[in-house]
Structure 1
């Protein structure tokens, strides 16, 4: 299987991975910030609205594709370690932060149209709350691939493709998102070797890599803004095109020392993902109440604070009793405890 080679990939070949993780989490936060500002001001910020629409075909595909790149070791390794690192790990943060987010929305008055009650707490095991479905879906993808690990890759791939084209709309997020997104995780697992080859090629031939990436992104923009993206087949192709372009661009940037900000965010992506919602909403509400009407300005400020604040929060809390918000306690581990400060990153699947 192609993915077997990823376990021996040298650091010089994968220094762009954290940068890609940083890019994906920033795109995730940007989209939620943009549409939150739209709800608050009554109109979509023109610049960030266009960026969010442009990135939509490849934002989540890139996220799950990268998550699958290093999955081979877990999928074919010790079962106890797998359950601990890919199921219990995600379950801990999913339940904890679902309770926190729902609790805040119940207790703190807000103007949003989404009314939250104790019923949402009871639904946590079967209906993910807000953006936390990403975590639940990752656990499901790992579990599904573990069960399918003995199947021929071509069969698994076509199974994922079939799910994608079914356009499931059951109303249950776990089912619908699994069918829609599983193909990208599968592509990361089985196509890891090719993804690394694409990144290596772009690093070795930056001019050609930039030209190809620009061409791919231009095709994404053409399909998106001509509304042809509604065609399922084109949506799939644009997901691969945008993800491929992102890998090439970030790889080139990293090789030239230009990706440090993305790399820094990528190394802290779990912390950002779990808690960006609170500083994002607080900043947006404060700026709107202060009279700011420029949607792009509000989005930019809220996005920046939403990405930076969780990292600062983690640094403040990591040596305190509240570190359980970002670091899974030993009592919730099935394997031998790690050192106090594990290297946890969202897209890599945790510890």
Structure 2
């Protein structure tokens, strides 16, 4: 049976496509790609509903409520999935590790922040705020810094980092992006790191009895988030959010590696393409719809989900077949 190389978000995919028999230390965990693909599509759905506000329109309430159901879990899940890849990455020499993360995370962050500034906010290009995570790409910058922390703190037990990050988030100013949100997501990134260090911890998610506890907790938190207009980055809710993530991981490990999940796995493998491109595409499509006289927010939101997702699929497909396109998302270092 052929094995494939497990990759972090943004890692080159064109070269392995030309060398499918390249050996790997262990089989790729397809369920991680499936969940990353699902979370990526939820991010696109969220932006398809809220970016209309930047054009003077009110988001469509039903779609907004739908997005609020996933708000407590969406970004935390992405961080846990990234954290699961830390132990394998840390097995490389520190220089290789840093160069790899610079090429797969910092490089696309800087490149597409520049593109965002040129296309959408030219006046912001000279502002430090834009380059410090002031655009839709803040998630990628946060992720790069977490990987840097993982290297610097590699001798510190991840559980200790989770506790410190959670405490810092709790003590941070309410709704602060670079304090409360940063440390909240850092806690979940290192939670993924902690789970990955011991296969037995991941195996706990296979216990079907977990669902009897998790489903009511998840349902209550999701409903509360929808009613409250979105609950996010609140470390006080880290236990129910963590339970939800464990439930989803368990379900994915049992069911998300079949053929029906192949489209989401494709999105997950190319998540950097979707994260980089979807927002400018949504922004431009809204302007085009309005210029053509289309004023229906539900119709605009539908267009802004389906069309960017489809274009990203096409561009990811082209990336697999034309190595030169990889430079739009990855710098080989």
Scaled by the length of structure 1, what TM-score is found? 0.75
Distance 1:106 1:78 in 2: 39
5+ residue gaps, structure 2: 1-23
Q: Which one of the candidate residues 240, 243, 246 is aligned to 2:242?
A: 240
Displacement of 1:277: 1.6
* Equivalent residues of 2:169, 2:183 under 8 A apart: yes
TM-aligned CA distance change 1:61 to 1:283, over 3 Å = same
| Distance apart, 1:75 and its partner CA | 2.6
Task: Report 1:22-33 matches (<5 A).
Answer: 22-33=37-48
Secondary structure of residue in 1 paired with 2:85: coil
Q: CA deviation at 1:42?
A: 2.9
Verify the 8 A CA contact 1:216 1:245 in the aligned structure 2: no
1:197 equivalent among 192, 203, 206: 203
Match of 2:169 among 164, 169, 178: 164
User: Is 1:69 aligned to 2:73, yes or no?
Assistant: no
Supply the distance in 2 between the matched residues of 1:39 and 1:100 (Cα, whole angstroms): 18
Q: How does 1:141-180 map to 2 (within 5 A)?
A: 141-168=146-173, 173-175=177-179, 177-180=181-184
| Pairwise CA RMSD | 3.1
1:312 aligned residue (300, 308, 314): 314
The residue aligned with 2:191 is 187
Cα displacement string for residues 74-124 of structure 1 (whole angstroms, at most 9, x for unaligned residues): 2343111111112343221111111111011246xxxxxxxx33323x555
Is 1:18 the counterpart of 2:24? The answer is no
Partner of 1:264: 266
What is residue 124 of structure 2 aligned with on the other side?
117
User: Structure 2: how far apart are the matches of 1:104 and 1:198?
Assistant: 47
- Once the two structures are superposed, what CA deviation does each residue of 1:230-288 show, in whole Å capped at 9, x if it has no partner? 89455323422332343244344425543222112111111111111222122222233
Secondary structure, in 3 states, of the residue corresponding to 2:154? Answer: coil
Q: Relative to 1, partners in 2 of residues 1:49 and 1:131: Cα closer, same or farther, differing over 3 Å?
A: same
Residue-by-residue CA offset, 1:43-81 (whole Å, 9 max, x unaligned): 221222012111111111000000000211223431111
For 1:285, which of 271, 277, 287 is the aligned residue? 287
Count of aligned pairs? 306
| Matched residue SS, 1:57 | coil
Contact 1:128 1:174 in 2 (8 A): no
- TM normalised by structure 2 equals 0.79
* Residue 328 of structure 2 is aligned to residue 325 of structure 1: yes
Q: For the structure 1 residues 163 and 214, does the alpha-carbon distance in structure 2 shift closer, same or farther, using more than 3 Å as the test?
A: same
- Separation (CA, whole Å) in 1 of partners of 2:63 and 2:175: 30
**After alignment, is 160-169 or 223-232 more displaced?**
223-232
Residues 144 and 42 (structure 1 numbering): CA distance in 2 closer, same or farther, change over 3 Å?
same
Q: Say if 1:19 and 1:262, in contact at 8 Å, map to a contact too.
A: yes
Specify the alignment match of 2:224 in structure 1: 223
Moved more, 177-186 or 191-200: 191-200
Alpha-carbon deviation of 1:137? 0.8
**Residues 290-320 of structure 1, C-alpha deviations (whole Å, 9 max, x = no match):** 4444433322221122222123224446637
- Residues 181-235 of structure 1: per-residue CA shift (max 9 Å, x gap): 1101010000233663255445xxxxx6776664343122233245495894553
1:138 pairs, out of 140, 143, 155, with 143
Q: Please give the secondary structure, in 1, of the residue aligned with 2:248.
A: helix
**Any unmatched runs of 5+ in structure 1?**
1-6, 108-115, 203-207, 334-351
CA distance in 2 between partners of 1:304 and 1:96 (Å): 25
